Amino acid sequence: MPSDLVGAVVQALEQQRRPASGSAIPPVVQIVGPTRGNLHGGRRLPEIGDPGRDSLIKARYASTVLRVAQTVDDQQTAARLVSGLSRDFPCPTERPEIAELHFRAINSFSELTTALYNEAASKREHLWKSAMDSAATWLNAVTPS
């Protein structure tokens, strides 16, 4: 069973590394319940009671990290900050429309990370805007009215 989980995670990471093609959204990685107990040295993690709250916290966190990363003078540090956001997948029980917005944000974070490591400043500006817009759309969708 753990090898299935490792395979699913590796597959998701490989999909993330491929160049983004249009609006292609990687599938949600399903993590089976019994595996959660094997994380963190055998301690059982509490189940996520409300996936909407989980997504709200993640969207707020992503928006905050993006704002901080934009102020960093060192592009490598900014890339590491943004890169961390692209590894935080939606809760498996998240509503599909929210999971799609989350994955769109992850794709934009991944593209920005690549550009921060490799691209010229002119291309990065567009990707910063895209990442900020994706995070804002995601956050607006999960913020309670």
**Mean pLDDT throughout 78-82?**
93
Q: Give CA–CA dist 112/18, Å, rounded.
A: 13
By residue count, the chain amounts to 145
Quick: pLDDT tens for 33-79.
444 444 445 544 444 456 568 899 999 999 999 999 999 888 889 99
Sketch the domain layout of the chain as residue ranges. 2-142
Quick: pLDDT tens for 93-128.
889 999 999 999 999 999 999 999 886 677 788 899
For residue 90, give the nearest of 62, 124, 132 by alpha carbon. Answer: 62
Quick: pLDDT tens for 5-31.
666 666 666 665 555 544 445 555 544
- Match domain 2-142 to its CATH number in 3.10.620, 1.10.540, 1.20.120, 1.10.357: 1.20.120
